Amino acid sequence: MPVGTAGAVKAMTPGELSDLGTQMILGNTYHLYLRPGIDVIAAAGGLHRFMGWSRPLLTDSGGFQVFSLRAISAVSDQGVTFQSHLDGSRHLLTPERSVAIQTALGSDIAMAFDHCPPGDAPPALIQEAMERTTRWAVRSIAAPRAPSQAMFGIVQGGSDIALRRRHLTEICALDFDGFALGGLSVGEPGPAMYAVLDATADELPCDRPRYLMGVGTPADLVTAIGYGIDMFDCVLPTRNARNGQLFTSQGRITISNAEHRFSTAPVDERCDCETCRTYSRAYLRHLLMSREILYSRLATLHNLHYYLSLMREARRAIQAGRYSAFRQTILDDPQGG
């Protein structure tokens, strides 16, 4: 899922996302609540109509902002009291309020409110966040929402395998429509994340979607799929594109490097996206160095095409019974895709 934090995937129109084969995008409860406000979106008929996106939408619960904006927030069992990063106003976000906001947004999948601790949090804090997430999950699932809106529960527990398995048992005992692994790729070492996936991903119910939140690199994706994960979101393809890093079948390239100044080659000879069919590396480098808006559009289009194509190839490899070989081709890339 490309990330549309404020109701837009940066530099892309909904039509372009559809043409790329995007099946679902993610919207951010915290940011949309603060701006433009739920009343504005509700008056427009919901987030789908507001942003012109007709395919499925998933909204996060705001729990990750507890982690990312923890310097201006305070957590209690009631919920999270936070200060707006926009104007300093104070707000209280509870499980019930999070579900109400997501219902007003009209997303197809809502996430239960969770407490996401940092990757280097001490064991006592990780356990506290895990136990609070369970209590909030019970409140989230009991809160009123649209009958057609699915809800996913979130498994926390940091990098502690025993805590992860314990929390997985607690969350999967609740009647959620899907399950997510949260609290990963938040500062813990890569091997620790893979150890958690190895120990827990295949223990999530096989008849419900399995979602790994906020991950990651192409190598992370194909590794996680091998463990049994179905769904991902990450800002990496769009953010890295804007910062000059492009993903290719031959590894990542930094388009600002001087080696591309005279290059008439496309970003990726094997790619059939509009950017690679039409423009050279030299031209993209020129746009970036000139700070032209067109650069962000062309680079983002390419990176999303790469990621979405990677998912299609993974799906075909699974269906053909050759996933292990496919995964190895990505992992053999010394730059991790």
The answer to whether 208 touches 175, Cβ cutoff 8 Å, is no
- 60, 114, 220, 268: the active-site residue: 60
Residue 141, SS3 per DSSP: helix
- 220, 233, 268, 332: the active-site residue: 233
Q: Quick check: is 233 catalytic?
A: yes
CA pseudo-torsion sign 239, 105, 34, 51: positive
| Torsion, CA 5, CA 8, CA 9, CA 12, rounded to 10 | -170
Q: To which residue do tokens 């962000």 refer? A: 296
Q: Quick check: is 177 catalytic?
A: no
How many angstroms separate the CA atoms of 167 and 181, rounded?
A: 10
How many angstroms separate the CA atoms of 92 and 107, rounded?
A: 21
Q: To which residue do tokens 């890093």 refer? A: 245
**Strand 25-27 to 3-4 pairing:** parallel
In 3D space, the residue among 94, 154, 157 whose CA is nearest the CA of residue 128 turns out to be 157
In 3D space, the residue among 109, 108, 78, 85 whose CA is nearest the CA of residue 33 turns out to be 85
Helix (H) or strand (E) holding 109: strand 109-111
How many angstroms separate the CA atoms of 191 and 196, rounded?
A: 9
In the structure encoding, which two tokens stand for residue 108, read together? 């197809």
Q: Which residues are catalytic?
A: 60, 233
